[in-house]
Amino acid sequence: MNRRFDLHVLGWFLVVFGGFLLLPLPFALATDEPGLPWLGSATVAAAVGLGVVLATRTRDRRLHPKDGFLVVSGAWLLASILGALPYVLAGALGWVDAIFETVSGFTTTGSTVITDTTVTLRSILLWRALTQWLGGMGIILFTIAILPLLGIGGMQLFKAEVPGPVDEKLHPRLATTARMLWGIYVGLTAAEWLGLWLLGVSGFEALCHALATMATGGFSTRNQSVGELGSAGVQWLITVFMLLAGTNFVLHFRLLQGRLKDVLKDVELRWFAAIVVGSIVILTASLHRPEVPLADTLLMTSFQTASIVSTTGFVTADFETWPHLAQLVLLLLMLVGGMSGSTAGGIKSLRLVLAFTSLRASIHRAVHPRAVVPVKYHGEVVDDDVVSGVWGFLLAYVLIVLVVTGVVAAYGYDLLTAVSASLTTLGNVGPGIGDVGAYDNFSHFPAVAKLALSFAMLVGRLELFTVLALFSRRFWRH
Amino acid sequence: MKALVVGGGLVGSTLASRLAADGHDVVVVESSRDRLSQLADTLDVQTVQGNGTTVEALEAAGIADCDVLIASTASDEANMVVALIGSSIFHVPKVVARLRNPDHERSFRAIARQLPGDHVCVNPDLAAVEKILSLLPVPGAADVASFLDGKLLIAGFPLPRDSAFSGMLLSHLRLLFPERSVLAVAIRRRDDWFIPHGEDEFREGDLVYFSISPAELDNVLELVGARKAPERRVMVAGATRIGIGVAARLEAAGVPVALIDEDRTRCQEAAGQLERAMVLHGTPTDHELLEDEGVGRASAFVACSDNHQLNVVACLLARRLGAAHTFALVDNPALSGLVGEMGIDAVISPRLLTVGLAAHFVRRGRVRAAAALLEDEVELIEVDLGRGTRLVQGPLGEVGLPRGVLVAALLRDGIVVVPGGGDRAQPGDRAVLISTTERARELDTLVGS
């Protein structure tokens, strides 16, 4: 491990991050809101960054996979702390709340402690949406560039899945691929912004929602989220873009190449689609009332399904009042999450596919003890490393859910609140059920619970092991 | 004709002896002195000691004026080099390369297209797979080849004691099959081969080759007394290229397949390549494993491992455990002679199939793997008849077909016609002719223009 150079990289990250902190400044000045929070925090970030850069100059610029864990976790942590500065400087939130809100932003979760958006500075709301959008951008880079190298949680498989211009492995032209996928990300965001604006949403709110959708974040400028924002058309549009954001960006890229057939053949996409359609059907069956037009019910269930499975977390309905079956569907969707290679969180359908395939192989082996049954994905044999990585990930996921549930429950919250808060933060969804339901927020939690939930968001966003590895003694040993 | 055979292993030496028997001048190039002196003692061929992949050795063997070059060493790479030297430097008109790896075969074909002369790859593994696949749907047959795009089967059956055919005159087949959709085209009685006539009779113990239109297959099977398994389930032993090839083609046809191999790595590779087939790790002679996995309900057990003795033993075991039909890969001619008496349905020798295909190519040009017979004592050819060929000059009874040569079928406008003596072949027909190998030369005068 090259700790000196890791710090050097993080120093440069802070300098760039200082630049990001200036993004809301023109908007703030144009709308007569204070510019100090932005100038102040940008200065702090750039100064600290430059200091670290100068202090850690080194010739040895070699990076090892281990450095990846440190740099990535460090970057998200630093972004969460310095990104909290504007909230504090603007007097909008206290430190703990500010950090919770920023972590929730950069991990594209969307759980919020802001109780009333109508009294919040608009530049702060813009920054909130921006943290999500920048977090989503970071996740795309993390997924294509760093995750395969770290080889954790079965995502080695992703290495071969990510395309170059001619369907080659990605590594040699990392920058090119990142730029292409970012291009898709930016393009889709712009399209949604335009679409919302055309449907009558104000330019500012359309932008904030577009930024939060493509990152599968879920911060809204309204207290009642998208439900308050606009008509059925607006909600359908956001539904579609949430699903697009929860889809593997590599597939968007293939679609742009005109390779529709390859896209439709994608096994993970088929599973994802089946999960989405299945959930909509179950929710519609359990929620539909004869006095309501079917189209309305369908919009409501589709929106909620898309929002939760893509781990965005916008809401248009109070699922607090839903029957238990429907709530269970939502909890399961929180657990599953979107596709690999998207900005969505959760376990991800790729791992689900592999786990099920591996389970089926195990059953086959139980019936025919001498049979050699490999786990296959897209007709190719999946390495045992990958399969055991997937199972390890699932186990770790469940354990963390239990621990975080325990922490929340220890403060006297009911089980549904505790479980759903844990699932929603680890899966980077946003709202839960119970005291963290559709129209509730997270401000009522004590500081320790807020930090525990923030930690869950960070761990979930970085595919568990990137962060967990830092807690292993072996990691720090040479 | 002068033929140069590079590589004096089983394929090379057998082929050399076949070609010498056909009356060709044969030169064998081989690097091992021991093997070479053995060849020189037993065969009427010229031998040259040397490395066949060098231009010098080939020149010393007289490649400059040879008509056919056969590369039959054990190595694909060496065979490609030999074949390419032959056609690019010496412009040998006919070149045969024995290649086992399908990738090599594809590359070789691509290169050969740019070169002068006639090229053919013979692939022992592919030939064996094709042979096994044509044997499987014809239970009880010792040999099957398909002609005329699958519209005509030539199948050899050993006649058991209780067969309805035993003691019957051949001409009585007409009574059973008035359309002549089934014809006896060749018979092996003890060690003699002959092309039979109407007044010959079937005897028990004969190996009879019938030409059969596929619609009549079930009737023939009933008459020869072959038992047909109620459902098709195949067990393949040995995850070799042949074993995997057979399993892959069967699973594609929807037949349940189990593939057994004792090597775990090979099992994993096979399981990776196959979709639905079940791959089992274990010895093919493991009594318990075979029983647990239902060998008793298998319609066929095919032993394809590289260990040919093991193949025989596994087949005998599978037969005892109730497999309806068993097939074994055996290259050793001495061993395969024994096997017929043990109740194994057919013995497939990839190398002898290779020899058959190569010899066929030397005699007449293009060959199809599906048309190779396990026995090289009869010659079956499928030819397009031109305007000038002797065969179309009059009714078949009058064009002077020599005794021992038979027109088994004609394909005209997509329909198979089995001609009688009064019928005429027409230009544009495709004909299937059969003769014993000794008479094979006469075929040329009939179909050549």
Inspect the interface and report whether the beta carbons of A371 and B264 lie closer than 8 Å: no
Q: What is the rounded average pLDDT of the residues A30-51?
A: 93
Q: Does domain B128-133+229-352 have CATH number 3.40.50.720?
A: yes
Q: Nearest by CB to A372, which of B275, B280, B293? A: B280
**Strands B94-98, B68-71: parallel, antiparallel or unpaired by DSSP?**
parallel
A380 inside 8 A of chain B by CB: yes
- Helices A294-309, A267-287: crossing angle, 10 deg rounding: 140
pLDDT at A478 > cutoff 70: no
CB A124 within 8 A of CB A90: yes
Those residues with Cβ within 8 angstroms of residue B44's Cβ, 6 or more apart along the chain or in another chain: B20
Q: What is the dihedral of CA B86, B89, B92, B96, to 10 degrees?
A: 20
CA A329 to the chain's CA centroid: 20
Q: For chain B, which residues score pLDDT lower than 70?
A: 227, 229-230, 340-341, 364-372, 441, 448-449
Task: For residue B289, give the nearest of A370, A374, A380 by CB distance.
Answer: A370
Residues 6 or more apart whose Cβ sits within 8 Å of residue A321: none
Looking at residue A170, its pLDDT comes to 41
Is B390 exposed, middle or buried (CB count within 10 Å of its CB: 0-12, 13-18, 19+)?
A: middle
Contacts of B292 in chain A (CB under 8 A): 368, 370
Residue of A92, B27, B311, B404 lying closest to A101 (CA atoms):
A92
Angle at which helices A415-426 and A324-336 pack, to 10 degrees? 30
User: A196: closest CA among A185, A187, A184, A209?
Assistant: A209
- Give the residue carrying structure tokens 């005068």: B445
**Which among B373, A109, A262 has a CA at the least distance from the CA of B382?**
B373
Please answer yes or no on whether A372 and B271 come within 8 Å at the CB atom: yes
Which of B280, B290, B291 to mutate to test binding with chain A, by most A CBs within 10 Å of its CB? Answer: B280
| Token reading at B434 | 């059969």
Q: Specify the amino acid at residue A87.
A: Y
- Distances from the Cα of A357 to the Cαs of A12, A351, B25, B356, in angstroms? 43, 10, 61, 46
Which residues fall within 8 angstroms of residue A264, CB to CB, at 6 or more apart? none
Query: Phi first, then psi: what are they for B365, rounded to 5°?
Result: 105, -145
Q: Do B293 and A373 touch (CB under 8 A)?
A: no
Percent of residues, chain A, with pLDDT higher than 90: 65
Whether A184 contacts A253, CB under 8 Å? yes
DSSP-derived letter for residue B401 is P
Q: Which two tokens stand for residue A44?
A: 């702090």
All residues of chain A having their beta carbon less than 8 Å from the beta carbon of residue B280 are 368, 370-372
For A374, which of B272, B289, B292 is closest by C-beta distance? B272
**Shortest alpha-carbon distance between residue B287 and chain A (Å):** 13
Strand pairing report for B405-412 and B152-158: unpaired
pLDDT at site A158:
55
Classify A343 in phi/psi space as left (phi over 0), alpha (psi -120 to 50) or beta. Answer: alpha
- ipTM associated with this complex: 0.72
Helix (H) or strand (E) holding B257, with range, is: strand B257-261
Q: Please give the angle made by the CA atoms of A80, A85 and A87, to the nearest 5 degrees.
A: 100
Rounded to an integer, the average pLDDT of A65-78 is: 86
**How close B258 gets to chain A, by Cα (Å)?**
9
- How many CB atoms within 10 Å of residue B28? 30
Residue A309 has pLDDT above 90, yes or no: yes
Q: How many CB pairs under 8 A join A and B?
A: 34
pTM, to two decimals: 0.81
Q: Token match 């990152």: residue?
A: A215
* The token pair that represents B299 in the structure block: 């319609």
* CB contact at 8 A, B306 and B238: yes
| Mean pLDDT value across residues A140-157 | 70
- The reported pLDDT for the residue numbered A161 is 44
Secondary structure of residue B150 in the 3-state scheme: helix
Amino acid identity at A465? F
Reduced 3-state DSSP string for B259-319: EEECCHHHHHHHHHHCCCCEEEECCCCCHHHHHHCCHHHCCEEEECCCCHHHHHHHHHHHH
Amino acid at B73: T
Strand-pairing partners, residue B94, are B68, B118
Q: What angle do CA A334, A340, A344 make, to 5 degrees?
A: 45
- Check residue B142 and give its pLDDT: 87
Mean pLDDT of chain A: 89
Write out chain B residues lying below 8 Å of A376, CB-based. 272
| Strands ordered across the beta sheet of B257-261 | B278-281, B257-261, B234-237, B300-303, B326-329, B346-348
Residue spans in chain B of domains classed CATH 3.40.50.720 = 2-122, 128-133+229-352
Q: What is the pLDDT of residue B371?
A: 62
As given in the structure block, the two tokens for residue B162 are: 């209780």
Contact assessment for residue B8 and residue B27, using Cβ atoms and an 8 Å cutoff: no
- At residue A157, the pLDDT reads 55
In the prediction, which pLDDT does B279 show?
A: 95
| pLDDT, average across residues A21-50 | 93
Residue ranges, CATH 3.30.70.1450, chain B: 145-224
DSSP string for A334-363:
HHH-S-TTSS--SS-HHHHHHHHHHHHHHH
Residue A171, pLDDT above cutoff 50: no
At A356, the amino acid letter reads F
Angle at A133 between CA A132 and CA A134, to 5 degrees: 95
* Chain B environment of A379 (Cβ under 8 Å): 275
- Note whether B282 contacts A370, CB cutoff 8 Å: yes
| Nearest residue, CB atoms, B281 vs list A370, A379, A380 | A370
pLDDT of residue A417: 94
R_g (Cα) of chain A, nearest Å: 22
pLDDT at A160 over 50: no
Q: How far is A363 from chain B (nearest CA, A)?
A: 13
Residues in chain B: 449
Split at pLDDT 50, 70, 90, the class of A154 is low
Residues in chain A: 478
Nearest-by-Cβ selection for A372 from B267, B275, B293: B267
Task: Answer yes or no: is pLDDT of A165 > 60.
Answer: no
- CB–CB contact A371 B279 (8 Å): yes
Q: Which CATH number fits domain B2-122: 3.30.70.1520, 3.40.50.720, 3.20.20.70, 3.20.20.60?
A: 3.40.50.720
Q: Give the span between the Cα atoms of A285 and A297, in whole angstroms.
A: 9
Max intra-chain CA distance, chain A: 75
As a whole number of angstroms, the distance between CA B441 and CA B436 comes to 10
Residue-wise pLDDT tens digits, A93-121: 999 999 999 999 999 999 999 988 888 88
pLDDT of A168 above 80:
no
Q: Cα–Cα distances in Å, from A346 out to A107, A109, A145, A332, A455? A: 12, 10, 20, 10, 15
* Residue in chain A lying closest to B281 (CA): A370
Q: What is the DSSP letter of A445?
A: S
If we measure between CA atoms, which residue out of B167, B150, B200, B127 comes closest to residue B358?
Answer: B127
Interface test with A, best of B251, B261, B274, B278 (most A CBs within 10 A): B278
CB proximity A373 to B under 8 Å: yes
Dihedral (C-alpha) B235, B238, B239, B245: value to the nearest 10 degrees?
A: -60
Average pLDDT, stretch A336-356?
92
CATH code of the region B145-224: 3.30.70.1450
Contact B315, B326 (CB under 8 A): yes
Nearest to B279 among A372, A376, A379 (CB): A372
> DSSP string spanning A360-421?
HHHHHHHHSTTB----EETTEEPPHHHHHHHHHHHHHHHHHHHHHHHHHHHTT--HHHHHHH
